[in-house]
Structure 1
């Protein structure tokens, strides 16, 4: 007669099948709550699982339906808050379906980038992937996933936005709205700090700034546009260059809060009063926006909700030709760092 596994051995799906007198496939069907198992066998399997303390592993779940019940998140961003919010949004949505999230750091400069992602897929066999910026626009990654038939959803894509499933805000419109806010306050010389070139959102936000100036009848002065990298140091350096101009701007719009914080530091070091002598605004509305002084006027993008929406599209894709894109709203948050010029 078959005996239970020893106290020191971790029970396996084979132990369950042996003790219940059924096949491994029957056990996997019970674990995955599938059909084609009689009530008597189902109850017997569950009783054995309870008696020996068996906990279904991802591998056991994968035996039925060839699913791993886990998805991978590919993400890279210089802002830890942004990465955390994305991970939290993906993880919370996964938890509702008892799906595991695997988070894979993404180094866009790595020469082995594609090989690293392929290794992740081969080792963990995710049921799908959420591609966050800038991976969401890496054609090599998307081509490999399509070749393998692995579903993916893009978060904040900047290229071929209507192709495939994605979740995003309108970065161009958001930057347009913030620039329009500064124009309405009376600013005409508005400096703009562009984000990292490898992120599509950087170009989208720059386009919104340019469009708002044009619609207001203001000529674009490229001397007022400076390159940044979405981090504090680059925002500080860009602001220093803007404030050193013979005719400096009366407002600076940085396309991330971290760069806006750098701009505030540059202004404070020069003894420039914000917002009386200079308005500084940002983009994101992360923790930085409220811990700097004065608190930042900024664009709030719902990062966690975007990640949740992208994951939902992956786990529960719409059928019948329904839209595969979800667009979430942004919001202008007005705080103490913006005011009319010379107010």
Structure 2
């Protein structure tokens, strides 16, 4: 008599075809120890023949785990968010873990609220992007509840948790030095959100470049753009209406840099002939803008992939005890058509 196979095959169906117990099927499909290679292969062949796909929810109930990885960030530029999510998703794509995206505003003043949200979400672990990665109260809450986390580009307590970072001070210095080497002296600076440690780090890099060049930063040309296009556009208009106007604009992300280019065109100015513009991040908008934007390549996608990979390895017990908790990624200055020497 033929075995009856349900419409959606289960491990019981695989067990019947392979001639083993359902428990053995479960262990073989999850690559658990104490299953011979011959039996493991037999089970996997039966699963393939039946076109079996594991039920994540059922696995979660059995293992008492959710297989959910959280990703939390605060309203940065849309292009940054896309790179961040794509990096994490590309690591999780072929595995059993799924990504839960948890945007959260005003993290600095609402650390406890964010912590409660993450702890209630039933996550196995969480990826903390700026500024959440630098909030001590939040980290304390996660540590007390033993919720594993990986931090993407933190600036403080770098020995805490799994850390994936980049030297933003050195990156800021590189792009500022580029403008100074071209001969610019009246350089306007559009800062990001002052509550983000990245904004402080990049500004420290700018200062280092100006100090090495023996040039003072004109504080009247330093304004806050909040990492957004709209605010960046408004403050860039104000800067470019000044007399004498700046010959270059240094923006702390690409969205604000592209906004400055749009503001220049609004005033009848040509980029880069009348004013040079440089950004930060090497996001998609920097490559599609015209002219293409000089920027710093911050490998956001690669860092998010790395953070997710290290977190999963820790959750699955695959991390080596001697493996460093911190991993640094390199930046790269990308000189494109938006920066030239100042007009004569």
Tell me the TM-score normalised to structure 1 length.
0.84
Residue 198 of structure 1 aligns to a residue whose secondary structure is: coil
How much has 1:219 moved relative to structure 2?
1.9
Residue matched to 2:172? 175
Residue aligning to 1:34: 32
Residue 253 of structure 1, CA deviation: 0.2
In structure 2, C-alpha distance between the alignment counterparts of 1:330 and 1:38, rounded to whole Å: 46
Is 1:129 matched with 2:126? Answer: yes
Deviation at 1:13? 5.3
87-96 or 266-275, larger mean C-alpha shift: 87-96
For 1:151-166, what aligned pairs fall within 5 Å after superposition?
A: 151-166=148-163
Deviations along 1:248-282, one digit per CA (max 9) or x if unpaired, are 22111001111011111111122222222211111
C-alpha separation between the residues in 1 aligned to 2:343 and 2:42? 79
Task: Note the alpha carbon deviations across 1:66-103, whole angstroms, 9 max, x for none.
Answer: 5544433223443222222222222222346x232313
Quote the residue 2:278 is aligned against.
281
Shift of 1:227: 0.3
Spell out structure 1 runs of 4+ moving beyond 4 A: 3-7, 10-27, 37-54, 62-70
Distance 1:5 1:140 in 2: 53
Name the count of aligned residue pairs.
Answer: 336
Tell me by how many angstroms 1:65 deviates.
5.7
Tell me which of 215, 220, 223 is aligned to 2:220.
223
Following superposition, the deviation at residue 18 of structure 1 comes to: 9.4
**In the alignment, which residue of structure 1 is the partner of 2:329?**
328
Report the Cα offset of residue 195 of structure 1: 0.8
Deviation at 1:44, TM superposition (A): 8.3
Q: Deviations over 1:183-206 (max 9, x none)?
A: 111111211101122322111111
What is the Cα deviation at residue 62 of structure 1? 4.2
Give the equivalent residue in structure 2 for 1:269. Answer: 266
**CA offset at residue 22 of structure 1?**
7.8
* Partner residue in 2 for 1:240: 237
Moved more, 84-93 or 72-81: 72-81
Measured at CA, do residues 283 and 41 of structure 1 come closer, stay the same or move farther in structure 2, by a change above 3 Å? Answer: closer
Distance 1:20 1:145 in 2: 44
> Could you say what secondary structure the match of 2:280 adopts?
strand
Q: Is the 8 A contact 2:133 2:151 kept in 1?
A: yes
Partner of 1:204: 201
Q: Deviations over 1:99-122 (max 9, x none)?
A: 3231313112386533332232x2
Give the distance between the partners of 1:254 and 1:196, measured in 2 at CA.
Answer: 12
Paired residues of 2:68 and 2:100 also in contact (CA < 8 A): no
1:48–1:277 Cα change, 3 Å? closer
**Helix, strand or coil for the counterpart of 1:83?**
helix
Distance 1:265 1:54, change over 3 A: closer
1:136-177 deviations in Å (ceiling 9; x for gaps): 223344233222323211111122223222112211111111
**Separation in 1, partners of 2:288, 2:46:** 56
Name the residue aligned to 1:58: 56
Moved more, 249-258 or 75-84: 75-84
CA gap 1:52/1:263 in 2 versus in 1, 3 angstroms: closer
